[in-house]
Amino acid sequence: MHRRLFTSAALALTAVASLTAPPAWAQKKVVMGVSIPAATHGWTGGVVYWAKRAGAELEKEIPGLKVMVKTAGSASEQANQVQDLVTVNKIDTLVILPFESAPLTQPVAQVKNKGVFVTVVDRGLTDPTAQDAYVAGDNPGFGKVAGEYLAKAIGGKGNVVVLRGIPTVIDNERVDAFNAVMKEHPDIKVLDAKHGNWNRDDAFKVMQDYLTRFKQIDAVWASDDDMAVGVQKAIAQARRSDVKLVLGGAGSKEYIKKVMDGDKLVTADVTYSPSMIADAMRLTARARAKGEPLPEKTIIPSVLITKDNAKQYYFPDSPF
């Protein structure tokens, strides 16, 4: 039977229910490996923070649970780490946020075929059968919300450039949804879309190229707050006044603060919290410890952040 889609609302109800009854942990001890990208930029810095925090909390909560968090600086390093978690650390459960989708699909599939339960987070694999469960933000919603706001902000017409993330399934989902919105506005021209790899320096170089090639740019969809930093740096250095909007995403405290303070170029943001790794770890560990099935998909909605609601998403003590 196909397991049902879980929403954040359902998650909330489950959380409330779990508070009213003591958990019935199974006798089986769970050994869970968590494989995530290293803190190469702000968002993944948040992922590392939340993963380590959740691991410590879960080991206190669940008797006998062992959690190992591993970080990797590349797809190849992560693939090797995943194999080591199975052969050396003898994990029976894997929660993985892939560095990239394609290079990790086969290594993760091999792990699953050895009987390890696999939860994939955020960056989906190219073959969904290589996983047991998937936890992510609403990536199509992320692109749709961004596209709708951008189109409205520039009055339905003008020149737009796009900075994509790392080549992944979620990047495709975001950009496809954004482009679908743009097709509804024939007076908006998307001049180009290149990968900035969710990296400030890469985004800076891409934006420099755009500014050199295009004499009129009305708005930039950076699709990530770290990339937006590089974009704004390039615009400032070029002393260009034609750009009226830079829209990032993921809800970093730096960019939410810009929205709150009425920044001239940054008037909105879109949520995509790195704390989803902690959500995935909790869901997976608790289900495995109780011997219960895990929902096939858990999707966390993307929300538009404007000056009206920015305060509720601003956490100054957060690493991201």
Looking at the structure, tell me whether residues 155 and 180 fall in a common domain: yes
pTM summary value:
0.71
Tell me the CATH number at 53.
Answer: 3.40.50.2300
Quote the pLDDT of residue 36.
97
Q: Is residue 311 part of a domain?
A: no
Which residues span the domain enclosing 48?
5-137+274-301
Looking at the structure, tell me whether residues 13 and 126 fall in a common domain: yes
Looking at the structure, tell me whether residues 96 and 17 fall in a common domain: yes
261's tokens: 């303070």
Structural contact between residues 86 and 110, judged by C-beta atoms closer than 8 angstroms: no
Q: Is residue 211 part of a domain?
A: yes
Looking at the structure, tell me whether residues 263 and 291 fall in a common domain: no
Q: Is residue 307 part of a domain?
A: no
Listed residue (197, 173, 229, 179) closest to 100, CA to CA: 197
**CA 276 to chain centroid:** 8
Q: Is residue 155 part of a domain?
A: yes
Q: Is residue 175 part of a domain?
A: yes
Listed residue (144, 149, 119, 312) closest to 245, CA to CA: 149
Quote the pLDDT of residue 316.
83
Looking at the structure, tell me whether residues 32 and 116 fall in a common domain: yes
Q: Is residue 319 part of a domain?
A: no
Tell me the C-alpha distance between 32 and 288, whole Å: 10
What is the total count of domains within the chain? 2
Looking at the structure, tell me whether residues 165 and 44 fall in a common domain: no
Looking at the structure, tell me whether residues 200 and 222 fall in a common domain: yes
Q: Is residue 49 part of a domain?
A: yes
Looking at the structure, tell me whether residues 257 and 185 fall in a common domain: yes
289 to 24, 159, 224: CA distances (angstroms): 8, 53, 35
Tell me the C-alpha distance between 223 and 160, whole Å: 13
Looking at the structure, tell me whether residues 161 and 257 fall in a common domain: yes
Quote the pLDDT of residue 34.
98
Quote the pLDDT of residue 10.
44
Q: Is residue 60 part of a domain?
A: yes
Looking at the structure, tell me whether residues 149 and 171 fall in a common domain: yes
Pick out the chain residues at pLDDT < 50. Answer: 1-21
| 40-97 residue pLDDT tens | 877 888 899 999 999 999 999 999 999 999 999 999 999 999 999 999 999 999 999 9
Structural contact between residues 177 and 143, judged by C-beta atoms closer than 8 angstroms: yes
The count of C-alpha atoms lying within 13 angstroms of the C-alpha of 110, restricted to the half-sphere facing its C-beta, is: 13
Instruction: Say which residue the tokens 């096939």 belong to.
Output: 296
Quote the pLDDT of residue 26.
65
Structural contact between residues 177 and 267, judged by C-beta atoms closer than 8 angstroms: no
Quote the pLDDT of residue 23.
62
Looking at the structure, tell me whether residues 212 and 122 fall in a common domain: no
Quote the pLDDT of residue 123.
85
Looking at the structure, tell me whether residues 98 and 189 fall in a common domain: no
